[in-house]
Structure 1
C-alpha cells in the first residue's frame, strides 16, 4: 500500500465535474432553459410566447401602476440578477477582476489558480450592490480590505467597502454612485408618547434605502464633521423624533451653545437649561452633574439598579455643540469641563443621563473624552485620519471615506455610522430640519400634555 496520504494529488478536478458542481450551485441555469424547452415542446411556440408576453406585460403594468411595491419587491431581484449574470460578478469577468487586484491564489501542488467565489449578489438600491464572496484557502479578510481602492477603480465604482460575513466569507459593498440624490425631509411630529420608541428614533436613511435609527438614551454620542457638513441635523432630528417625550417632561434637553446662535431658537422651551459661553457652560454642566447625582441617590435609597423613564427619572440630554472649543481652546475652563463631562459619560447611563457632543476636529487633544462617547457618526471631515478617529481603526480602509464626501449644501447630512451588529461603516444621510420645522417644534413643545412613564 502506498504511504502517500489522501488528498495530495497533483491533478485538479476534471472540467466536466466542475461543470456539474457549478450547475448544482446555480440550479436556475438548468431549470430556466429546461422549463422553456418543455413549454415549447408541450404547449407550442404560440402559447409559450403568449405566456412570456403576458408575464412581461404584467411586470410592466406593475412597474407603472404601483412603483412603491415594484421598487421594494421586484426591482431589487431583477437588478441583482442582471448584475450577477450580465455584469462583473460572473465567469471570466470576475476571475479577471480578482486577478488584476491580486486576490487570487495558486494551489501549491496542482498550480491551479484559485479564485474567490461569488456566493450571492443583492442590489437593494440602484446605487449599491452587496456581493457575498467566499474566500479561497490562504486568504484573509485583510486581503480584500487592502484591495478596496483597486476594486473601486476596476469596477468603476465610487466606493468599495468590505465587511466580515460568515467564517471564510466577506461582503463587498459596491457603491456605484451617490445613493442620496435628494435631501431627506424631517417627518411630521408624532402626536403622542405612545407613538415614540425612545430606543429607536428615526434619523434618516442608509445607503440601502433602509431607515437609519438611533436610541435616545443608554449611550453617549459623538458627532464629527467640518463646518457645513450638517452636524446639527443630528440633534435637531432627534429633538423632533422625541418631541412627545419632551413635551411630557420625560426628556429634558440641556444645551451648551458656544456659537450663541445655532440653538438659540430652542431657548423658550429649555427652562434655563441653556448656556452660550464657556463660563456659563461650565456652570450648566455642574448643574447637570448635580442633577445626575441626585437621581443616583434616589435610586440608591430605593435600592434600584435601573428605573423606567418617568417623571422621577427623566432622560436628561445634554447637547454640547463645538465641544472642542470648550475643551481645547478655553484654557480657563477646559480642565473642569473635561472632568465634568467625563463624570457624566462614565456614570450617567443608569440614570438616563446622555451627552451628545458635536466637534469639528475629533483628535484626542481636542476631545480627551472621545473614548467615553461610543455611539458615533462621522460626516464630511477635512483629514483622512479623522474617520478612524471617530469610527474606529481601519474604518476608512473599509469604506468610510468621510474625507472624500462632496462639499455643498445639497450634500449636508451625509456621512458614516457603524452598523450595530457588524460594527462596519454604513453610509447614511440624516433627515434635514428646516427653520419652519424648528419653529413648529417650539410651538408643539409649548402645548400642555399628560405625563406618563415609558420603558
Structure 2
C-alpha cells in the first residue's frame, strides 16, 4: 500500500493504510472488502487500480463503493478471463416431477456467467431493458437467453411476447412460435402493434386500479414482453409519421407499463439520444461492444466506463 501511494499519516508520525475486512474467492477473481482510512477516499484507491493489479499480478483491478456503507470499498482483482470461450446455453427450467408448474423467477432471469465466474441474472419483472452494442457484439445472445429461460412460462401463458423485427425478420423469425404477436416487414404495422400494446396496457391499468397494489403475473393477467430488435430503424430511420407514432407508443409503455405487467426489451447499435430519445426510460441497461468511451456512459450513466 505504501509503495502504491495508498497510505496516510496518522498525525503522530505513524502510517495508516486501508485494511482488508473480508475476502471472497471467486472462480476468476478475488474480491477484497476494504476499510478506507480517514484522509483517503475510494476514488484515491480507484486511481491506483493499475498499481494494485500489478502488485497482485492480476489481469485487472476494479474498485467500487459499497452501497449505503460510507468508508468501505470493494477491490476486485481479476486473475483470468473465463469468458474467452463461448458459454454454453443454460438449462431450461423444468418442474420437479416433469408434469407440474415450472418454477420461473421473473425477478432474476439467468442468462450466463459474469467475468468473475458467478452467475449473471437479469431482472425482467418491473424493469425495461435496453441492450446496446455494435453489430456482432452479442445482443442476440442476451435476448435469446432471456426467451429460452422464459419458454416454460410462455408455454403456460403466464408470459406473452410481442416481437418486432425491423430488420425483416433476420433476428426474431427463428423463434416465431414464441411470439403471440409478431411483425417484421412493415414499419407502419409495427407502429400499429406498439399502439395496440399501449392501448391494451391502459385497459388493464383501469381494471387493476384500486384492486391490485403490486402486479403479479397470472393466466388472467400475464406478463407482456415487447421485444424490439433494432430500435433505431423505428425511431430514427422510418418515416416521420411512423417515428412520431412509435415514440409516443413506446413512451406510454415505458412510463406506465412496468406497474401493470408490460416490459419493453429494446436492442440498438446506436445509443445516442438523437437515435433513442427515450433511452433514459429504460431502467436496466446492458452495454456490450461499443465504439467509443462516451457511448458506454450514454448507456450506463455518466462516469461508468471509468469505474470499470
Q: SS of 2:196's equivalent?
A: helix
**Alignment match of 1:189 (pick from 75, 92, 113):** 92
Correspondence for 2:197: 288
Structure 1 length-normalised TM: 0.61
Higher strand share goes to which structure?
2
**Alignment match of 1:367 (pick from 264, 273, 276):** 276
Kept after mapping to 2: 8 A contact 1:205/1:211: yes
Higher helix share goes to which structure?
1
CA distance in 2, matches of 1:170, 1:198: 30
Correspondence for 2:149: 241
Runs of 4+ in 1 over 4 A off after TM superposition: 153-156
Q: SS of 1:131's equivalent?
A: strand
Kept after mapping to 1: 8 A contact 2:161/2:180: no
Kept after mapping to 2: 8 A contact 1:317/1:353: yes
Structure 2 length-normalised TM: 0.88
**Alignment match of 2:83 (pick from 177, 180, 188):** 180
CA distance in 2, matches of 1:393, 1:148: 20
Q: Say yes or no: does 1:320 pair with 2:228.
A: yes
Deviation at 1:291, TM superposition (A): 1.5
Residue 306 and residue 106 in structure 1: after superposition, are their counterparts in 2 closer, same or farther (change >3 A)?
A: closer
Correspondence for 1:218: 126
Kept after mapping to 2: 8 A contact 1:115/1:136: yes
Correspondence for 2:164: 256
CA distance in 2, matches of 1:316, 1:381: 29
Correspondence for 1:81: none
**Is there any run of 5+ residues in structure 1 with no aligned partner, and where?**
1-93, 400-455
Q: Say yes or no: does 1:114 pair with 2:114.
A: no
Kept after mapping to 2: 8 A contact 1:305/1:350: no
**Is there any run of 5+ residues in structure 2 with no aligned partner, and where?**
96-100
Two-structure CA RMSD over aligned residues (Å): 2.2
Q: SS of 1:348's equivalent?
A: helix
Q: Say yes or no: does 1:123 pair with 2:25.
A: yes
Correspondence for 1:161: 62
Higher gyration radius (CA) = 1
Deviation at 1:95, TM superposition (A): 2.8
Correspondence for 1:447: none
How do residues 34-433 of structure 1 correspond to structure 2 at under 5 angstroms?
A: 94-96=1-3, 98-99=4-5, 103-107=6-10, 109-125=11-27, 127-152=28-53, 155-165=56-66, 166-192=69-95, 193-260=101-168, 261-300=170-209, 303-332=211-240, 333-399=242-308
Greater alpha carbon shift after TM alignment, 150-159 vs 345-354: 150-159
CA distance in 2, matches of 1:180, 1:271: 34
